[in-house]
Structure 1
Amino acid sequence: MIKARYPAIAVVLVISLMVFAGFQTVLAAVPQAGDRLSLAGAMQNPQGQGVKEVEVAVLVNGQHVRTVTGEKISTDKSGSFLSEFIFPAGTLPEAKVEVAAYKPSWKKLAPTAVQVLQTGVDKDGNRLFQAQGDFGLARTITPAFWLATAILLLVYIIIAAELMHRTLAALLGAALVLFISYTAGTFDKNYFILSFEDAIAAIDMNVIFLLMGMMIIVGVLKKTGMFQWLAYKSYALARGNIFILSGILMVVTAVCSAFLDNVTTMLLMIPVTIEIAVTLKINPVTLLIPEVFASNVGGTATLIGDPPNILIGSYANLTFMDFVTNLVIIIAICMVITVTCYIYWYKRDYLKADVKDVGRTIDFMKSEYRIKDMKLTVMGLVMLGFTIFLFVIHGVLHMEPSIAALTGAMVLLAISRADIVEMLEQEVEWPTLVFFIALFMVIAGAEETGLIQIIAEWVLDVSRGNLTLAVIMVLWVSAIASAFIDNIPFTATMLPIVAFLNTTIPGAETGILWWSLALGACLGGNGTMIGASANVVTVGLAEKAGYHISFLGYIKACFVPMLITVVLSNAFLLIATFVRPLTMSR
């Protein structure tokens, strides 16, 4: 009887031990009360902009600590970070809490103390603490800086010397940036230029899709014969006078660029211009270069005419009428000079035009250059008008211009039943789009390693406290830099610089420095074929039609006129500095 009880007792003991062990496990799983710290902050450059992807370390009493989740801390796209920590009860607030940071091409942030404040107690008995701080980072010159600068210069030299096609040169530069980053940069962060993710993010798809959409719309309209008809009308209006014709084309291009973007305007004007030049038996380049120069001048006059103006208007809360009121006068003056300069520059070429029998030529063009498909023409013009309308109101809708262009292009393809494969193969200038993609990557490498910021900081240091000097510096640095570096990223970098100058220099609160930046970036883009998007598109489409424009040839035709327009702008801005009520509304 007793023996029979032993197994039962053993079972009871085993069950009791299991229950006790489970109870202990449950107790161990219950979080013990402690000190919970929420640490938030931001890493900023000297201009107050957030710096992304900064590695952040937190030290308590000199020892590195991990977050609650054990993940590494890094800043987001805005340069901010937020992490949670838990410590044994009684650790805070007496402990010394410090933040350190590191990112390639930036000076290391030495451990910096933050103030810890108690905010309460949660339901689990944890004492809650909070700490917050903004930390400044400064650039440092690393091997990556020199490599990125050298690659950027190499790309420009190759394009200028025409050692290879500009698209191949840009792609080679982009490949070198990424190759160095993931070879030498893997073993030594001082050689890391640009991550693949940042390279992809640097591609401005708004520009790419805007170009693609407008190329498709133009491609469909080309089938209607409308551009040939416009060529006939332009020639008839000028009555065969090539000098008047060139002036008409420049003025029309400038006015259209003020209400469209300059890239779209050139996409529409290039086919017309080539038709006119072929009829007159002159090189289309003699009309195309004056037109693209005029497009960049005209686009400077309004908020939507040039991408730098869109950036400036958005950042500074400037309206469409602010740009018109403050810039139309100087742009009109620049246009007069532009027309005069190019008519003189290409005088010899224009005199070679075949204009012996104007009346007969007009009759011939009238019979030959007719609209072939009226129905398709109407559909194309309606969708073009709809796209332009979207461009005008895109700010109200908070819609990117590329959405307007793609919508117009795709609806036009759908209703016209045009062959999209044919459009993509024949009408979309892929080498130009790929050139933009690669160039965005190369410039991003220069930005990431600090080249563009160093230029901007130099302007800030030299012009501090003097409005006249600041106006001159912002205008000329923007103009020269935008001639050789795409004006869109440079303008984006300059925005916080100008905003800071507006608050620190007496008299700058009128907003005159915004106009210095707009005039410098937009007009300076005329200096070289890679200074503005419209230039690249024009060169690409001219080349596709069989008319080559060299890098040095473009500089020869455009750099001096660009300097003249900037000099005129300089005089205008200096007058505005001292006679503010007459010229500046803000």
Structure 2
Amino acid sequence: MDITLTLFALVYLAMGVGHLPGLKVDRTGAALLGAMLLIVAERITPRAAWAAIDVETIGLLFGLMVVSAAFVVGGFYDWVARRVGQIQVGPATLLGILIAVSGILSALLTNDVVVVAMTPVLCSIALARQLNPVPLLLGFCFAANVGSTATLIGSPQNMIVAQALDISFNRFSAITLAPSILGLLLIWLLIAMLYRGRWHLSSVCTPSCPRPTTTDESSSTTRTPRPVVPLNRVETAKAGIVTLALISAFIFTDWPHMLIALAGASVLLLNRRIASSDMLGHVDGNLLLLLMGLFVVNAALAATGLPDQTMHWISQTGIDLDAPVPMLLISGLLSNIVGNSPAVMLLTPFLTGADHSETLGAAIALGTGFSSNAIVFGSLAGIIVVEQARAQGVTISFTEFMRAGLPVTLASTVLAVGWIYYLGA
């Protein structure tokens, strides 16, 4: 048990800080290393390790990643970013449009892929228009996390909790759609207030400064422009038709979610114009491996009986872990410690759902999605936006991110708790 607990603690330490201290082992490496060492130490058998991996969740996520990748190689995301950037409106209105676009795309496609594809283009557009890119990027990032809560296919953690509690697409969105939309409005209001008077480069730079003050002057002084992918109307249309078919199947049929997603991915991979390797190159294999490793690590810990003892102790303190509001708050707190997907994976083995599994699952999705904006490392989307922006010459510091993210998170969480209470939970 000591070895299991030690490895478990080290793995989740890496989830929290991004790497194993003193080593060049990132989150994915730590999850796989922990899983392999637990097998080698015979704390879990190879057969049990394979059985611990939730194939339905991994298959669903992989299938949807392929669908989203089709929009990447078809140039859809670049086209959307350029079209939005060309709209001749004021900065506050542009922020609102970006938030709406980010929220909608993240609800229908995997949010992490959306931010990977669009962040570099948005940076270039903002700088070309002499706008401060920071509020635009933060609004885009926050909206990706909040908008993704609207559907069970919006983020990996939504898929995990929906699979664990057997929640349908319709029942999930019936609870999360309204607070997600209201959350997007909150993001716009708060960022518009926080950055009032600081929308343009001239307002945040000295006369000789060509970039925002948040640019990291100690790093490379030249931006690395990313090649723009031209819009392929045929491939984009094909991906759009497949996506509509998938969503229709999610809504109107009882087919397993994984099979629906894999069917769509199969159709898109059968292509005479685009190589499958190009498509699969945009699939986040690291995230899939990370989740697989965590399934094994969590199963090994569960075998020790310690999690059950811990949950029993918590229940004796009067905290009802089957109640949606406590789970919303607990999942939100855990998300900012170990990340949103690992947080959900820690909690799902202990979810019984009682008579309100839909509300319980939706509450966890809202808790992880809404709280993800507090700090950079609260979500993969936050990390992606900050790192992609840095590559384009714009650095958003930890403090700058939290200065906007914390009030957005607090307001969003209050909204989510109020909504759950309104539903009678």
Question: Same-fold call, TM > 0.5?
Answer: yes
Are the aligned partners of 2:14 and 2:20 in contact in 1 as well (CA < 8 Å)? no
1:391 matched residue in structure 2: 246
Match of residue 273, structure 1, among 122, 125, 132 = 122
Are the aligned partners of 1:456 and 1:494 in contact in 2 as well (CA < 8 Å)? no
Counterparts of 1:201 and 1:440 in 2: how far apart (Å)?
9
1:156 matched residue in structure 2: 16
2:418 is matched by which residue type in structure 1? A
Structure 2: unaligned runs, 5 residues or longer: 204-227
Counterparts of 1:264 and 1:240 in 2: how far apart (Å)?
27
Q: Are 1:170 and 2:19 an aligned pair?
A: no
Q: 1:574 to 1:549 in 2, by over 3 A?
A: same
1:145 matched residue in structure 2: 5
Q: Are 1:292 and 2:137 an aligned pair?
A: no
1:181 matched residue in structure 2: 38
Structure 1: unaligned runs, 5 residues or longer: 1-104, 106-141, 355-370, 504-508, 581-586
Match of residue 513, structure 1, among 349, 360, 364 = 360
1:449 matched residue in structure 2: 301
For 1:472-493, what per-residue CA distance to the aligned partner results, in whole angstroms no more than 9, with x for missing partners? 3211111111333354454456
Match of residue 568, structure 1, among 384, 403, 415 = 415
Could you tell which deviates more after superposition, 313-322 or 560-569?
A: 313-322
Q: 1:489 to 1:179 in 2, by over 3 A?
A: closer
2:104 is matched by which residue type in structure 1? V
1:472 is matched by which residue type in structure 2? V
Match of residue 65, structure 2, among 194, 208, 211 = 211
1:381 is matched by which residue type in structure 2? T
Counterparts of 1:574 and 1:510 in 2: how far apart (Å)?
15
Residue 344 of structure 1 and its aligned partner are, at CA, apart by 3.4
1:344 is matched by which residue type in structure 2? M
Q: 1:302 to 1:465 in 2, by over 3 A?
A: closer
Q: Write out aligned runs for 1:96-495 (5 A).
A: 105=1, 142-154=2-14, 156-157=16-17, 159=19, 168-174=25-31, 176-177=33-34, 180-181=37-38, 185=41, 192=43, 198=49, 202=53, 204=58, 206-208=60-62, 210-211=64-65, 214-215=68-69, 217-221=71-75, 227=78, 230-237=80-87, 239-267=88-116, 269-270=118-119, 272-282=121-131, 284=133, 286-314=135-163, 316=165, 318-347=167-196, 350-352=199-201, 377-395=232-250, 396=253, 397-400=255-258, 402-403=261-262, 406-407=265-266, 409-411=268-270, 414-415=271-272, 417-418=273-274, 423=278, 428=281, 433-434=285-286, 437-438=289-290, 440-441=292-293, 444-450=296-302, 457=312, 459-463=314-318, 470-488=323-341, 490-491=343-344, 494-495=347-348
Q: Write out aligned runs for 1:491-506 (5 A).
A: 491=344, 494-495=347-348, 497-499=350-352, 502=354
Task: Quote the RMSD (CA, aligned, Å).
Answer: 4.3
2:367 is matched by which residue type in structure 1? G
For 1:41-73, what per-residue CA distance to the aligned partner results, in whole angstroms no more than 9, with x for missing partners? xxxxxxxxxxxxxxxxxxxxxxxxxxxxxxxxx
1:327 is matched by which residue type in structure 2? T
Residue 265 of structure 1 and its aligned partner are, at CA, apart by 3.8
Counterparts of 2:313 and 2:414 in 1: how far apart (Å)?
21
Counterparts of 1:436 and 1:253 in 2: how far apart (Å)?
23
Q: 1:351 to 1:159 in 2, by over 3 A?
A: farther
Q: 1:458 to 1:210 in 2, by over 3 A?
A: farther
Counterparts of 1:437 and 1:550 in 2: how far apart (Å)?
29
Are the aligned partners of 2:28 and 2:290 in contact in 1 as well (CA < 8 Å)? yes
Counterparts of 1:175 and 1:319 in 2: how far apart (Å)?
31
Counterparts of 1:282 and 1:160 in 2: how far apart (Å)?
38
Higher helix share: 2
Q: 1:315 to 1:409 in 2, by over 3 A?
A: same
Are the aligned partners of 1:383 and 1:408 in contact in 2 as well (CA < 8 Å)? no
| Equivalent position SS for 2:26 | helix
Counterparts of 1:393 and 1:245 in 2: how far apart (Å)?
31
Counterparts of 1:253 and 1:378 in 2: how far apart (Å)?
21
Q: 1:324 to 1:399 in 2, by over 3 A?
A: closer
Counterparts of 2:340 and 2:70 in 1: how far apart (Å)?
25
Counterparts of 1:295 and 1:306 in 2: how far apart (Å)?
9
Higher RCO (C-alpha under 8 Å, 6+ residues apart)? 2
| Equivalent position SS for 2:153 | coil
Higher strand share: 1
Are the aligned partners of 1:178 and 1:196 in contact in 2 as well (CA < 8 Å)? no
Counterparts of 2:339 and 2:6 in 1: how far apart (Å)?
19
Counterparts of 2:348 and 2:29 in 1: how far apart (Å)?
30
| Equivalent position SS for 2:352 | helix
Residue 392 of structure 1 and its aligned partner are, at CA, apart by 0.4
Give the aligned length: 391
Q: 1:320 to 1:197 in 2, by over 3 A?
A: closer
Taking structure 2 as the reference length, the TM-score comes to 0.72
Are the aligned partners of 1:178 and 1:195 in contact in 2 as well (CA < 8 Å)? no
Counterparts of 1:550 and 1:197 in 2: how far apart (Å)?
43
Taking structure 1 as the reference length, the TM-score comes to 0.55
Residue 249 of structure 1 and its aligned partner are, at CA, apart by 0.3
Counterparts of 2:347 and 2:46 in 1: how far apart (Å)?
23
2:256 is matched by which residue type in structure 1? H
Counterparts of 1:175 and 1:455 in 2: how far apart (Å)?
25
Q: Write out aligned runs for 1:32-43 (5 A).
A: none
Counterparts of 1:196 and 1:279 in 2: how far apart (Å)?
55
Q: 1:460 to 1:486 in 2, by over 3 A?
A: farther
2:369 is matched by which residue type in structure 1? C
